């Protein structure tokens, strides 16, 4: 079983190989630590020429976990949807939630707005600064997952002065004990580059609503970063603070071990570009009740990479697709406890903003839930539409006719 595997962190190995101690004694200690007993089977499998002369790459390869290829997949090209979710000029539909199947049809929720994006150079009081600005959360249904009917707005922006008065977007659905919960990002006006996004929640007895919104956010950024100066410059900081000191994004609540695990993306004040790209990391907050209160884990951040949250239960633990940003991007990871994740597969680029098919049998195999689902595509910078993806397991590599 996966929970019995002892897996070394690949990036920890990379860092260990890369360090350059200043004195010879430290060098010898590290060299001794890296000494590895190599079997003939390992030499043959990894194609290593000489066990007495191991490169840094070979040493890392010898420490890779022996987990086979059951987690490795490839994604297809995105396919357009039909009906109301087909691309529509002038309309933004993006960031689909997971799908659930109720009343004989699939349900999906998503961010919707209209009009072009001016960025921060425009009039922030009137224009849209991002495609996900001035959004409401809408929903659609489908009998086959291809042709969709837009049913209407599910959750709208709040009244002026409310924490969600500017935009509500990037939502995720959870069903638990006959109730439905939508978690989502919120922004309060004005939308400046230093604005701190929060996370809201709405609940209903039916997937068709009506929805009751939380009076206050259920999660907010850490408050231990310090901006430098008064100018609207999100890279100017005196202290960066926690990994989520600027924004909390992409919420996804998963019932797990009798509690509710809220996975989210954190953005840090003064975010940098590193050797893995943007400094984007994931965190978790845990509650005893779906409506909270949610308490952030002391182990945060629980990833050093990623973008949109894409998590699902498997084998008593939680699996996570890590995409887009950071040194461990384009990997599938798994945790036996929902907190401590290790790399299970390195994959080619995955679709953005994946909406999982929650009707899938997640115990059939590790990646069954990724066989098909929803994503979005940039038709232009101004307008995006929801698309469909599929994937397949890849266990062999053969030439045509072989």
**Cis omega (within 30 of 0) for bond into 297:** no
Model confidence pLDDT, tens digit, residues 308-355? 999 999 999 999 999 999 999 999 999 999 999 999 999 998 999 999
Model confidence pLDDT, tens digit, residues 56-70? 999 999 999 888 899
Q: Can you give the CATH number for the domain in which 334 is found? A: 2.115.10.20
Q: Which pLDDT score is estimated for 37?
A: 78
Q: Do both 37 and 151 map to the same domain? A: no
Distance spanning both ends of the chain, measured CA to CA: 34
Structural domain contains residue 398:
no
How many residues are recorded in the chain? 402
Q: Is the pLDDT of residue 270 over 90?
A: yes
Structural domain contains residue 402:
no
Q: Do both 25 and 98 map to the same domain? A: no
Q: Do both 52 and 112 map to the same domain? A: no
Q: Do both 137 and 26 map to the same domain? A: no
Q: Do both 279 and 306 map to the same domain? A: yes
Structural domain contains residue 136:
yes
Q: Do both 31 and 168 map to the same domain? A: no
Number of domains present in the structure of the chain: 2
Point out the domain boundary residue: 15, 42, 62.
62
Per the DSSP assignment, residues forming a β-bridge with 229 are none
Q: Which pLDDT score is estimated for 5?
A: 42
Q: Do both 261 and 380 map to the same domain? A: yes
Q: Is the pLDDT of residue 402 over 90?
A: no
Domain span including residue 231: 73-393
Q: Which pLDDT score is estimated for 35?
A: 56
Q: What is the mean pLDDT of residues 155-177?
A: 98
Q: Do both 238 and 102 map to the same domain? A: yes
Residue 325, both tokens = 């940003």
Mean of the per-residue pLDDT values of the chain: 92
Do residues 281 and 245 lie in contact, with contact meaning Cβ atoms separated by under 8 Å? Answer: no
Q: Do both 31 and 123 map to the same domain? A: no
Ranges 31-45, 180-194, 241-255: which has the least confidence:
31-45
Q: Is the pLDDT of residue 6 over 60?
A: no
- Integer angstrom CA distances of residue 251 from 78, 219, 310, 311: 24, 9, 10, 11
Q: Rounded CA gap, 321 and 181, in Å? A: 22
Q: Do both 53 and 164 map to the same domain? A: no
Note the Cα 14 to chain centre separation in Å.
Answer: 24
Structural domain contains residue 341:
yes
With cut-offs at 50, 70 and 90, classify the pLDDT of residue 36. Answer: low
Q: Do both 57 and 101 map to the same domain? A: no
Structural domain contains residue 367:
yes
Q: Do both 51 and 80 map to the same domain? A: no
Structural domain contains residue 401:
no
Structural domain contains residue 399:
no
Structural domain contains residue 68:
no
Residue 87, both tokens = 């691309």
Considering just the CA atoms, what is the radius of gyration of the chain in Å?
Answer: 23
């Amino acid at each position: 079983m996966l929970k019995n595997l002892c897996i070394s962190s690949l990036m920890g190995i990379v860092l260990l190989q890369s360090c350059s101690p200043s004195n010879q004694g430290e060098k010898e200690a590290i060299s001794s630590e890296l000494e590895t007993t190599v079997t003939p089977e390992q030499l043959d499998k990894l194609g290593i020429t000489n066990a007495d002369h191991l490169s840094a790459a070979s040493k890392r390869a010898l420490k890779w976990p022996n987990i086979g290829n059951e987690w490795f997949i490839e994604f297809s090209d995105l396919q357009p949807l039909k009906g109301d979710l087909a691309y529509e000029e002038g309309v933004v539909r993006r960031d689909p939630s997971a799908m659930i199947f109720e009343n004989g049809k699939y349900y999906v929720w998503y961010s919707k707005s209209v009009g072009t994006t001016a960025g921060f150079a425009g009039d922030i009081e009137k224009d849209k600064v991002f495609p996900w600005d001035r959004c409401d959360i809408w929903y659609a249904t489908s009998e086959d997952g291809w042709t969709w009917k837009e049913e209407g707005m599910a959750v709208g922006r709040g009244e002026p002065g409310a924490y969600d008065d500017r935009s509500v977007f990037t939502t995720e659905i959870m069903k638990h004990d006959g109730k439905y919960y939508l978690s989502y990002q919120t922004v309060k006006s004005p939308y400046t580059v230093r604005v701190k996004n929060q996370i809201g929640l709405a609940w209903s007895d039916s997937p068709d609503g009506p929805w009751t919104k939380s009076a206050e956010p259920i999660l907010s950024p850490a408050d231990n970063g310090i901006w430098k100066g008064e100018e609207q410059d999100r890279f100017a900081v005196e202290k960066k603070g926690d990994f989520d000191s600027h924004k909390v994004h992409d919420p996804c609540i998963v019932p797990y071990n009798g509690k509710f695990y809220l996975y989210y993306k954190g953005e840090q004040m003064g975010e940098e570009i590193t050797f893995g790209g943007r400094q984007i990391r994931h965190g978790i907050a845990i509650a005893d009740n779906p409506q909270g209160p949610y308490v952030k884990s002391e182990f945060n951040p629980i990833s050093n990479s990623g973008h949109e949250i894409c998590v699902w239960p498997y084998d008593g633990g939680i699996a996570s697709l890590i995409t887009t940003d950071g040194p461990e991007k384009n990997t599938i990871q798994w945790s036996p406890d929902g907190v401590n994740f290790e790399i299970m597969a390195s994959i080619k680029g995955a679709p953005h903003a994946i909406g999982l098919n929650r009707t899938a049998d997640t115990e059939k195999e590790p990646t069954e839930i990724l066989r098909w689902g929803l994503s979005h595509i940039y038709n232009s910078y101004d307008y995006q539409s929801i698309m469909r993806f599929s994937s397949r397991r890849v266990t062999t590599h053969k030439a045509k006719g072989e």
